[in-house]
Structure 1
């Protein structure tokens, strides 16, 4: 049985961070009810240049049911209240205060639904001078300092080409929701103090927590980290190197690996060179070491180097394009690409769940829903449960 079977999650979120959080809860067995606006639904549904299936939406909304509710309508707001009364988790990513204006502020949620775990995802958090500011991933990448660390040495100011703030925040939010559920059920019933919880998580806090050692460097030394391109700031050699054909990534994380690395590259004399005797020494003499390593890599193609480095137990790999990665035998062996119905007679391919567990079984139990596909079904369930006890 999936670990979250029997748990119901109400998803008021859209775009990336919240939908990722709730999709992961659905992967673990929760019944996720995605509440959407009747006019257009989740904004991510419209992120398709050709007007077809939105890859944004398809990638983040499996294992969910969709119900259309206009939360400014009294009857639909009452339906949401009935749904919350029979649910365990609420996830939203409105700006702070928006749910209050809709009549579902924290005071009401705590009073009427004391066992509900509420997870608020926002751009900048519930307090502070930027609390009410609109935010997307790109804004947070700049605000949190990540863009200052990203790009070629001496430049910086580059956006990471994935929505990393949204993604890590969604992961943190899923962890927080599961932990709060666990805590609620361990405490047992018996009043609000034994009930649910209200969790706040922001894209800003999430992304800053994805920069732990960079932040610690500044907080402990006062020195601001700078962009280092494809080189690691604190481990040498560790980076991307051009070869006779293609690029190779190499991570030499300790002195034992460095000894092997020198042997594979035919640079055995470096083992006795005091400039490179420890990682600290190699950091100080990075340019001198790379001046010897780069010409060595240029003598053979990347695939030959990868074969030799792997044989020596040195972490290494190719620099693939995304199509090369998605069609690689290793990805195929993990069954990470799935073909799903689009609900309209066609199919599309998306990434599968990262979870692999015998007890989970088939993680993908539902394709991403059409807008309002389950409205009648869910409203009928609420009618059937009208005389039942609250959760």
Structure 2
């Protein structure tokens, strides 16, 4: 990461260049959202307590660097401030006066008690965007309840909807509630910035991990809205399109998705089983979904005769949506992943790239590193001391 003459890091050019973001967030959901702002060219100043973000001490590590911290804090500057110390408070106030966005993910009420509520920050800077992300948001009877990703997955219905019918409710294999909230946080901030261009005034963005996860539920929510009941877990299959599932081949499973009657007809022709089209259980998608188990048995009897690679090639050539079932190592090794620059390095550490691709800006596979604790403290104190 190159450093300018004033001791601060150079930033990539992007659509948000020229914006200054004061980032008080910690752990995952807030830093995930502000990392996208940094990727898009914004200057993101991470304000950490003197002991640093908790995730600096969370593995996995590469050398002495925490990937847990680095993946969501790349491209940011770091200053350690104690917001109960008068000198640090004065510095923070001066930063707010010159900033465009303040972002925090404390429990609601923390910023108020520090004297830095949205109303107080607006007095300092009427154009400030104040963005907050928390477990349950800044309103409602659960607003003050503590929350982690797994709690939100459990309470939102997502965990209960995930897994197989004969197995337990299962956490999604990533911190999806944190990440969903981070995405909505980014979207909320960019939306508020656009609104400020129209009105000249700042606003408050209020994001809840619970809301974000509930909004991601899709089919379980639709099933409840249609029937008044939560759907049962269904494993890997689609709730309303069949065959649309993982299927066992001779050596390993693969994924096949036939989303309509035409594709099912192509499948039957390709596997030389036109009789399946005439089976009264399978003549329509609704009937196939009703009899999904019997159809899967019939298809896997055929697929078990050849390897997954053979079947994928055959079905792909027929124009069917099909793909391998890969682990993360295999997925990141795909030429498609490289072509889209979806594995990047930042400070020598591998991490996921940014899915947002803009034709006007270069999409580099090398990003600025995450900062050491208080790495830019001296330069920032010099810049913002009243």
Taking structure 1 as the reference length, the TM-score comes to: 0.91
Partner residue, 1:48: 59
Provide the alpha-carbon RMSD of the alignment: 1.6
1:279 aligns with 2:285: yes
Structure 1 residues 273 and 362, CA, compared in 2 at 3 Å: closer, same or farther?
Answer: closer
Rounded to whole Å, the distance in 2 between the matches of 1:297 and 1:281 is: 22
1:254 aligns with 2:254: no
1:186 aligns with 2:198: yes
Which runs of 5 or more structure 2 residues have no equivalent in the other structure? 1-12
Partner residue, 1:244: 250
Rounded to whole Å, the distance in 2 between the matches of 1:358 and 1:63 is: 21
- Kept after mapping to 2: 8 A contact 1:67/1:374: yes
Structure 1 residues 113 and 248, CA, compared in 2 at 3 Å: closer, same or farther?
Answer: same
Q: Deviations over 1:215-235 (max 9, x none)?
A: 122123212111111111111
Measured after TM superposition, the shift of residue 329 of structure 1 is 2.1
Rounded to whole Å, the distance in 2 between the matches of 1:93 and 1:137 is: 13
- Kept after mapping to 2: 8 A contact 1:156/1:227: no
1:72 aligns with 2:72: no
Map 1:141-220 to 2 at 5 A.
141-188=153-200, 195-220=201-226
Q: Deviations over 1:88-129 (max 9, x none)?
A: 111111000011111111221233222111111000112233
Residue from 223, 243, 246 that aligns with 2:229:
223
Rounded to whole Å, the distance in 1 between the matches of 2:230 and 2:346 is: 46
- Kept after mapping to 2: 8 A contact 1:147/1:156: no
Residue from 265, 271, 275 that aligns with 1:265:
271
Which runs of 5 or more structure 1 residues have no equivalent in the other structure? 189-194, 342-346, 387-391
Measured after TM superposition, the shift of residue 294 of structure 1 is 1.5
Taking structure 2 as the reference length, the TM-score comes to: 0.92
Measured after TM superposition, the shift of residue 373 of structure 1 is 0.7
Measured after TM superposition, the shift of residue 154 of structure 1 is 3.3
Partner residue, 2:4: none
Match of 1:274, SS state, is coil
Residue from 16, 38, 61 that aligns with 2:73:
61
1:36 aligns with 2:42: no
- Kept after mapping to 1: 8 A contact 2:96/2:124: no
Rounded to whole Å, the distance in 2 between the matches of 1:351 and 1:216 is: 31
- Kept after mapping to 1: 8 A contact 2:219/2:239: no
Rounded to whole Å, the distance in 2 between the matches of 1:49 and 1:292 is: 44
Map 1:354-373 to 2 at 5 A.
354-362=355-363, 365-373=367-375
Measured after TM superposition, the shift of residue 34 of structure 1 is 0.5
Rounded to whole Å, the distance in 1 between the matches of 2:321 and 2:332 is: 21
Q: Deviations over 1:194-251 (max 9, x none)?
A: x111011110000000012321221232121111111111111111111001110111
- Kept after mapping to 2: 8 A contact 1:154/1:228: no
Partner residue, 1:3: 15
Measured after TM superposition, the shift of residue 323 of structure 1 is 1.1
Q: Deviations over 1:45-85 (max 9, x none)?
A: 11126682111111111121111111111111111111111
Measured after TM superposition, the shift of residue 44 of structure 1 is 1.1
1:127 aligns with 2:133: no
Measured after TM superposition, the shift of residue 365 of structure 1 is 4.7
Rounded to whole Å, the distance in 2 between the matches of 1:365 and 1:156 is: 40
Rounded to whole Å, the distance in 2 between the matches of 1:176 and 1:216 is: 25
Q: Deviations over 1:307-360 (max 9, x none)?
A: 01111111111111211111222212222222332xxxxx32222222333422
1:331 aligns with 2:333: no
Partner residue, 1:344: none
Partner residue, 2:10: none
Measured after TM superposition, the shift of residue 362 of structure 1 is 4.6
Match of 2:159, SS state, is helix
Residue from 123, 127, 150 that aligns with 1:138:
150
Q: Deviations over 1:168-197 (max 9, x none)?
A: 111111011001000101223xxxxxx111
